[in-house]
């Protein structure tokens, strides 16, 4: 409880409204960004950021998003600047933003460099841990003028996470293989937020010690770790069933023997917004069905 109180207090401090403009704020890469006035026209190149801005109630300042910003439904009504990898610079310029929010995981450095040359302020974000997700939330609260919404949002999120962690605390921790992508096989490594979520949901990811966030992996290595639960991530809202034939053929795996192959909504695990709480709950139901019936 003490650690949580300290964390929440730090978020409140970070999210305190600036007393005067111009104002300098550090992005998640440590780069200082000085803004002459509160940004009123923001473009989000990051679906996670779009979700957080809506959750904070700052969507009126969003004048542009990407094709992948599909949650909540109102996000799809915002003007689109195209994809994350190659957004349209012409569209961005035409929307007259006073701030673009980008990520070093999904946006090209070339895009950021072009925006810099156009003298469009860019705020960089990333979150490989829940603590970083909370920091991103606090900074977005400042940038959207929704500082007072940060603590309540984080508090609700943390309450749900604590409830899941408490429910699985005394349960055995099965070995979990999480499949982010089937071909090539991509899994969450030690720097992936999904790895932390699996732990909170009461499982041990067999790829938790792999370098980087989402490395390639071999089927042979997966078989050697004998996963007791296999979780296959769906991609995209409304996407269809996941092909599981490759795994069903590996009849020696404990997960196959016990019929513990589950599909989950990848958007709930891979986007570091408030729906991560939904993701942890979904993972917990798959890993510990005996607790979450």
Residue 4 has pLDDT above 60, yes or no: no
Q: Report which of residues 123 and 29 the model is more confident about.
A: 123
CB 33 within 8 A of CB 21: no
Q: Where in the chain is the domain with CATH 3.40.50.1980?
A: 2-153, 171-287
Chain centroid, CA 199 distance in Å = 16
* Fold that domain 2-153 belongs to in CATH: Rossmann fold (3.40.50)
d(CA 123, CA 49) in angstroms, rounded, equals 11
pTM of structure? 0.90
**Per-residue pLDDT at 241:** 64
Rounded percentage of the chain residues whose pLDDT exceeds 90:
83
Q: Could you please report the per-residue DSSP string of 4-16?
A: HHHHHHHHHHHTP
Chain centroid, CA 226 distance in Å = 28
**Per-residue pLDDT at 238:** 54
Residue 129 has pLDDT above 90, yes or no: yes
**Per-residue pLDDT at 17:** 61
Predicted confidence band at 237 (pLDDT cuts at 50, 70, 90)?
low
Length of the chain, please?
293
Phi-psi region at 37: left, alpha or beta (left = phi > 0; alpha = psi -120 to 50): beta
CB within 8 A of 233, min separation 6: which ones? 178, 179, 180, 181, 242, 263, 264, 265, 266, 269, 270
Half-sphere exposure of 213 (CA within 13 A, CB side): 11
Least confident of 138-152, 172-186, 198-212, 223-237: 223-237
Residue 219 has pLDDT above 80, yes or no: yes
Least confident of 7-16, 93-102, 167-176: 7-16
**Per-residue pLDDT at 240:** 60
Q: Going by CATH, does the domain composed of 171-287 fall within 3.40.50.1980?
A: yes
Strands 261-265 and 204-205: what pairing?
A: unpaired
The stretch 12-41 carries a mean pLDDT of 81
* Residue that the structure tokens 């429910």 belong to: 167
What six digits make up the tokens of 168?
Answer: 């699985």
Predicted confidence band at 1 (pLDDT cuts at 50, 70, 90)?
very low
């Amino acid at each position: 409880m003490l650690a949580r109180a300290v964390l929440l207090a730090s978020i409140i401090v970070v999210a305190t409204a600036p007393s005067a403009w111009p104002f300098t704020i550090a992005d998640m890469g440590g780069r200082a960004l000085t803004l002459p006035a509160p940004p009123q026209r923001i473009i989000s190149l990051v679906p996670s950021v779009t979700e957080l801005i809506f959750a904070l109630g700052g969507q009126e300042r969003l004048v542009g998003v990407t094709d992948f910003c599909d949650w909540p439904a109102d996000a799809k009504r915002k003007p689109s600047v195209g994809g994350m990898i190659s957004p349209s610079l012409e569209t961005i310029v035409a929307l007259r933003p006073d701030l673009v929010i980008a990520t070093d995981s999904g946006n090209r450095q070339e895009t950021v460099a072009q925006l810099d040359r156009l003298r469009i302020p860019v705020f960089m974000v990333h979150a490989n841990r829940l603590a970083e997700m909370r920091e991103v939330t606090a900074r977005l609260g400042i940038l959207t003028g929704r500082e007072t919404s940060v603590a309540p949002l984080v508090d609700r999120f943390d309450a749900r996470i604590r409830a899941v962690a408490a429910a699985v605390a005394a349960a055995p921790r099965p070995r979990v293989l999480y499949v982010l992508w089937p071909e090539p096989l991509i899994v969450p490594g030690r720097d992936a937020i999904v790895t932390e979520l699996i732990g909170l949901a009461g499982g041990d990811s067999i790829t938790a010690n792999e370098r980087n966030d989402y490395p390639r992996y071999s089927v042979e290595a997966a078989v050697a770790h004998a996963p007791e639960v296999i979780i296959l991530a769906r991609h995209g809202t409304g996407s269809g069933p996941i092909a599981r034939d490759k795994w069903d053929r590996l009849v020696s795996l404990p997960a196959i023997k016990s019929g513990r192959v589950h599909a989950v909504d990848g958007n709930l695990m891979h986007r570091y917004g408030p729906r991560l709480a939904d993701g942890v709950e979904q993972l917990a139901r798959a890993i510990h069905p005996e607790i979450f019936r």
